[in-house]
Structure formats: structure tokens, C-alpha cells
Amino acid sequence: MRLPKTPFIAVLAGIAMAGAVGASAATLGGLSSTGLGSDNSVVAACDTDGISIAYTTAYNATAQEYQVSAVNFTGVNAACNAKAASVSVRNGTTNLGTTNAASITVTASAFSITLASPVSAASVNGVSLIISG
Amino acid sequence: MSPRWLVGLVLWVSVLAIGVAHASVLGGLTPKTLEAWNQSGGSGAPTVLTCDNFSLAAATGSALASRPVQLPAKCGSGTWSTHLGTWTIASGLLRATTANATASINAGSTNVSAQATITNANGSSRIAGVAINHTGATRIYLVGALSGPSTAQLRLVNGGTITTIASATVTIGASAVVRITRNGSTVTVSVNGTLAITHTLTSGQITTLSGGTRVGLYWNSGTGIRFTNIVATTPASP
């Protein structure tokens, strides 16, 4: 069969590129075809004007100390509702305990996270909060 | 451009398009939230000045007198003094005899909160409470008391003279936590975390109470009454 020259070259070029793709996959032993791409996405804050933090404390007579049982957040934007959150109570750089919440409920601009394990109130001098999702 | 050349070009572009299509499926990522805060500062819990839960046996026998608090690392190095009556420990509970008996420990402050758990005060003719501003041997102090079956009282005791300054109706169960707080001239009494009494001390009462920095327990009547879990802190509400 005689094919016109110039179109034939163009077709060959296309087949050659397709073949190159196929050859690359073949060297990995039959991986299914896949793609690689990238895109940009916005990572935005759900609250931009700050959040106030307070603690729920109670006296534990057995331990004979005040303990922090929950961390309470106020001034929270409703956009943070239903997001995941993680709170860590700290003593300096020492993490006294981290509690994760799969979904927070922001009601009247506030939410609370009950700590998985209460910690000595006297030891707490800081807290870190992450909201994501 | 000839039609054949055009067909070839289309085929070539089609092959390229197949490859590009893989990248296009990633288009349109969903925006996400990621936000972190760090805040320094204490928990706001009151500072414990002294405490005792009577869970350990007394050093000598069961007497409370001269007994150190049992957890110095958290409760300080105070030692109990008894000022009237006989105070004994049994199974983590404290009991007293003799009307208006008090036992105290130094908290080092006139502005203070003190609370304790009192059991079996929920009946008639049963009176017991928590004392602050106790002067020791001269037995001048304020008491936040339960007066069964359903009254909270603020008493000022000056030696043998007992004055009920204020009272309120409360619910007293088989076990109740009584707290009395003085902060300046303001005195409050709460039962199980609920504010029952607020009183402003007169200048005369302040003068009478001057110098009393001990906290303790007060028993007036009711043989079944027991005490445990006393803790004194910086003033805390209610």
C-alpha cells in the first residue's frame, strides 16, 4: 500500500509517541495506564479574626488536684462548623495530651473539645489547635 | 493544506490529546481549610493552698491532731491542729465529737476558698461545715455550714459566741460539697457548686476576723456526719 508521504510521516510520529507511552508502562510490568497532573487549590482559613480559648477545670479529690477536662473555644466563625479539629494542651514544649475531633459543631460561635484524658491544671501553660477539612 | 495532510495532523493531535487527558482529570481540586492557633497561658484553675483526702492512715493511730497532710507534693507541708473536740480518721473519713469542734490547717491567706465533702448531713439536728479565716487557739472563724435537712448557713464564731449571719434553703443529699469563699469583704457559700449565700462583711466583722489564715472543718451536731476531701485554694467561684 502506498501512502502519501507527508500524512504518513505525521501518522508515524503520532504512533511513535503512543508507543513511547506504552513502552514506559511496559517496563513496570503491566501497570494500568495512569496519569500525572497537578493543579492549584485554595487552602483558606475558616476563621480569620482569632479564637478565644478557655478551660473547663474541676477538682479531682482522688488525685488531689485541679484538672483540665475540656478546652472551650469562642469567637469561632460558622465556616469552621463540621471541620475536623485537633487540640493539644502543653507545658512549654511538652505535649500533655492531644485529642482529635472528627467533626466539630460550632454553636453560637463556640465549640468545646472534651479531652481524652484530663490533665493536671497546674501543668497547663499553653494550648494548640488545628482545624482542617 | 491537502485533505490527506489534514487527516494525518488530526490523528497526531488525537494521540497527544489522549496523553493530556490524564492530567485534565485532576482539574478542579476542592478548596480546603487548614488553620492553627497557639496560645500561652495557664488553665485559670485556682491554686491549691492545702488539701487532704484522708485516704492514708494517720501517722500515729487515728488521731488527726499533729498529722501532716498526706500528699505534700500537691497539698503543701501543713500539719493539722484540733481546737475543740476529738477528731479521728477511719476509712478515709473524718469524724468529730463535742459541739462546735474545729480542726484546722494553715492556708496562709485570709482571701481563700475552702471546700469539703460532708456526708449524712441531710437530716434534722445535723450541722457541720467548712471554716476559713480561722485564728487557731482563739477559735475565731467563718463557717459555711450545712444545717440539715435543707439549710445552708454562714456563721461567725468568736470563741464561744456563734452568730448565724445568713442562711438559705438548699438541697442536701447524703453527700454534699460545701464551699466557703472570702475575697476581700465578700463572702459566699455554695453547695454542690450552686451559690447559696452572698454576704458583705461589716468593718466590725473584718476586724474580728483579722489575722485568721487557717482553714478547716467544723462540726456541731449529728453523730453520723463525716468529712473528706478538703481543699483550700485561691478564691474561686461560686
In order, the DSSP letters of B53-82 are: ---S--SSTTB-TTPBPS-HHHH-S-B-EE
Maximum pairwise Cα distance, chain B? 122
- B211-234 confidence digits (pLDDT tens): 999 999 999 999 999 999 999 999
Q: How confident is the model at residue B9 (pLDDT cuts 50, 70, 90)?
A: low
Question: B161 to chain A nearest CA, in Å?
Answer: 33
For chain A, what percent of residues have pLDDT higher than 90? 62
DSSP, res B100: T
| A6, A64, A65 ranked by CB distance to B8: nearest | A6
Q: Are B56 and B80 in contact (CB under 8 A)?
A: no
Of A80 and B15, the structure prediction assigns the larger pLDDT to A80
Give the CA dihedral A16, A17, A20, A22, nearest 10 degrees. -100
Antiparallel, parallel or unpaired: β B112-119 and B175-183:
antiparallel
H helices within B167-230, ranges in order?
A: 203-209
pLDDT bucket at A21, cuts 50 / 70 / 90: very low
Lowest mean pLDDT among B3-17, B43-57, B87-101, B143-157: B3-17
- As a whole number of angstroms, the distance between CA B172 and CA B149 comes to 7
Q: What is the largest CA-CA distance in chain A?
A: 97
Provide the shortest C-alpha distance from residue B54 to chain A (in Å).
Answer: 10
Q: How many CB atoms lie within 10 A of CB B212?
A: 24
Give the residue on A whose Cα is nearest the Cα of B53: A61
Chain A residues near residue B42 by CB distance under 8 angstroms? 121, 124-125
Report the complex ipTM: 0.78
Judge contact between B75 and B105, C-beta under 8 A. Answer: no
**Shortest CA gap B178–chain A (Å):** 13
Q: Considering only residues 30 to 69 of chain B, which have any Cβ-Cβ distance to chain A shorter than 8 Å?
A: 30-48, 51-53, 55
Q: Which residues 74-103 of B have a C-beta within 8 angstroms of A?
A: 74-75
Least CB-CB distance to A10: which of B9, B39, B228?
B9
Chain B residues lying within 8 Å of A60, measured CB to CB: none
At A48, the pLDDT band (50, 70, 90 cuts) reads confident
User: Do the Cβ atoms of A72 and A54 come closer than 8 Å?
Assistant: yes
Q: At residue A118, does pLDDT exceed 70?
A: yes
Residue in B113, B92, B223, B81 with CA at minimum distance from that of residue B178: B113
Q: How confident is the model at residue B29 (pLDDT cuts 50, 70, 90)?
A: confident
pLDDT category at A38 given cuts 50, 70, 90 is low
Q: Which residues of chain B are within 8 Å of residue A36 when distances are taken between CB atoms?
A: 22-23
A43–B43 C-beta distance less than 8 A: no
Is the pLDDT at A57 greater than 50? The verdict is yes
Using the CB atoms, write b or e for B79-94: b if 16+ within 10 Å. Answer: ebbbbbbebbbeeebb
Instruction: Give CA–CA dist B38/B71, Å, rounded.
Output: 33
Residue-wise pLDDT tens digits, B95-154: 999 999 999 999 999 999 999 999 999 999 999 999 999 999 999 999 999 999 999 999
Task: Compute the half-sphere exposure of residue B178: CA atoms within 13 Å on the CB side of its CA.
Answer: 37
Contact B38 A127 (CB under 8 A): yes
Amino acid, single-letter form, for residue B23:
A
When CB atoms are compared, the residue of A33, A50, A65 closest to B74 is A65
Query: Is the CB of residue B180 less than 8 Å from the CB of residue B111?
Result: no
Is-cis flag, bond preceding B238, omega within 30?
Answer: yes
pTM of the predicted model as reported, rounded to 2 decimal places:
0.77
Q: Is pLDDT at B195 greater than 60 in this prediction? A: yes
Q: Can you read off the three cell numbers belonging to residue B59? A: 501517722
Residue reference for cell 453547695? B191
CB nearest to B35's CB, from A10, A46, A55: A46
**A12 has pLDDT over 90:** no
The answer to whether the bond into B235 is cis (omega within 30° of 0) is: no
Q: Please give the C-alpha separations between residue B215 and each of B49, B84, B113, B218, B227, in angstroms, as whole numbers.
A: 10, 14, 9, 10, 14
Interface of B with A in 4-33 (CB under 8 A): 4-5, 7-9, 11-12, 14-16, 18-19, 21-33
CA B35 centroid distance within chain? 34
pLDDT of residue A94: 96
- Nearest residue of chain B to residue A67 (CA atoms): B45
Q: Pick from A66, A74, A76, A90 the residue to mutate for testing the B interface (most B CBs within 10 Å).
A: A66
CA distance B223 to A7: 112
Cβ <8 Å between A125 and B231: no
Which grid cell sits at A90? 502543653
- Strand order in B161-169's β-sheet? B81-84, B101-106, B214-221, B127-134, B140-147, B151-158, B161-169
